[in-house]
Structure 1
Amino acid sequence: MKHIIASLALVSFAGVASAAVDTYNIDTAHSFANFKIRHVVSKTAGSFNDIKGVIKLDPDNLANSSVDARINVLSISTGLAKRDEHIQKPEYLDAGAFSEIQFVSTKVEAKSKTQGVITGKFTLHGVTKEISFPFVVLGYGNDPWGGQRTGIEANAVIKASDYGYTWGQKVGSPVGDDIEVNLLIEGVKQK
């Protein structure tokens, strides 16, 4: 009898624990993957404006959280259409062959209720590598349409050469190897 009561208590506790994780759909209209990369002696900046995915977020323990996100490479915007078309060509992003960037988390280390480090599988240009980067939960709130939202910001630096791109490795190349990434993500809570 004690074993049955203990088992019921564990099942009940597990149900309560899993209920604390909220699921948010990434709001494409309010989410951006911004980047900066060296160009000659300065930097060029841009964004990918089509991000989709799901964030599972435990506001009481970020370690229980996870992310599955995809970025449409064709949604690149640098403020100049001719440059966007050039960047999508095979010598740079090769968007025709690799039209999606993906990140699937494998672990979240909570530093506080609003900050942590997320680790996961990052796929770019057909190459998957494990990366880790810090993030901040900017907050939670109600939107004007009766929904609930969360905001997240994350920053990382990746090397293009780690993903098979060689432009930054060429002597005299006007384009650098380091890509600074700033993610501004807004999620809408599933009902």
Structure 2
Amino acid sequence: MNKLLISTALLGLVAVMPAKAADYVVDYQGAHASVNFKVKHLGYSWLTGRFNKFEGTFSYDESNIAASKVTIKIDTASVDSNHAERDKHLKSGDFLDVSKFSTATFESTKVADKGNGKLAITGNFTLQGITKELVIDTVKIGEGDDPWGGYRLGFSGTTSIKMSDFGYKSDFGEILFDLHIEGVRQ
């Protein structure tokens, strides 16, 4: 009888414990993820915006952070600065040149545990056909069951790029990114 109780208790414990290693799909369609940016406008103020269409996947292994991976693909034509005329200019050859470079991508090459839910995600970022190494400072927000029978995991991250590193004709300095990623376990 004791063995049955212990076995039942252990099975119950395993059932409520989250999986250590899992694959996730980024939930941008449910508006539970966003790729936001800001850049100084003429040195006087901040121009803010976002990319409305992107997709991605990530693998996360809490017991082996170094085995984690991230891949994100951004539709550059989905740039949205809340101003239609400015968005046309951002999509032009002066900036994103979306007719020639319709996507920007990030693929991780290394994930380092910084402690207390903080990660440094290093990877290759490709924009305008130019690939540069980029580090995203990331923090785990949380994880758990969702109301639809799935399991979710979320992170927030920041990084920046220099416009000159990606061949921009107009260089307003750094573009700062705020990334909010929620994934649904597969």
Q: State the TM-score, normalizing by the size of structure 1.
A: 0.82
2:61 matched to 1:65? no
- In structure 2, what residue type is equivalent to 1:188? V
* Pairing 1:189–2:185 present: yes
Give 1:181 shift. Answer: 0.6
**Letter paired with 2:37:** F
Partner of 2:15: none
Structure 2 match to 1:44: 47
Q: What is the identity, as a one-letter code, of the residue corresponding to 2:85?
A: K
Distance in 2 of aligned mates of 1:110 and 1:28: 25
CA RMSD of aligned residues (A): 1.3
- 1:37 maps to amino acid: V
Q: Secondary structure of the equivalent of 2:165? A: helix
The more displaced of 119-128 and 129-138 is 129-138
In 2: Cα distance, 1:84 partner to 1:146 partner = 38
Cα offset for 1:70?
0.5
Deviation sequence 1:122-169 (CA, Å, 0-9, x none): 10110011111210111102222111111111101110110111201x
Residue 59 of structure 1: CA displacement?
2.2
Residue of structure 2 equivalent to 1:35: 37
1:42: Cα distance to partner? 0.8
**Amino acid across the alignment from 1:32:** S
Q: Find 2:58's aligned residue among 40, 55, 78.
A: 55
How far the C-alpha of 1:116 sits from its partner, in A, is: 1.1
State the alpha-carbon separation in 2 of the partners of residues 122 and 114 from structure 1.
23
* Structure 1 residue 113 displacement after superposition: 5.4
TM value normalised by structure 2: 0.84
Q: Runs of 4 or more off by more than 3 Å in structure 1?
A: none
Q: Is the 8 A contact 1:62 1:113 kept in 2?
A: no
* Match in the other structure for 1:136: 139
Rounded Cα–Cα distance in structure 2 between residues aligned with 1:54 and 1:157: 21
Q: Name the structure 1 match of 2:169.
A: 166
Aligned to 1:109: 112
- Matched residues, percent identical? 41
Question: What secondary structure, in the 3-state scheme, does the structure 2 residue paired with 1:83 have?
Answer: helix
Give the Å deviation of 1:81.
1.8
Q: Decide whether the 8 Å contact of 1:31 with 1:51 is kept in 2.
A: no
> Could you tell me which amino acid in structure 1 is paired with residue 33 of structure 2?
S
Q: Distance in 2 between matches of 1:143 and 1:83?
A: 38
Which residue of 2 is the match for residue 178 of structure 1?
174
Aligned-residue offset at 1:60? 2.7
Letter in 2 for 1:187: G
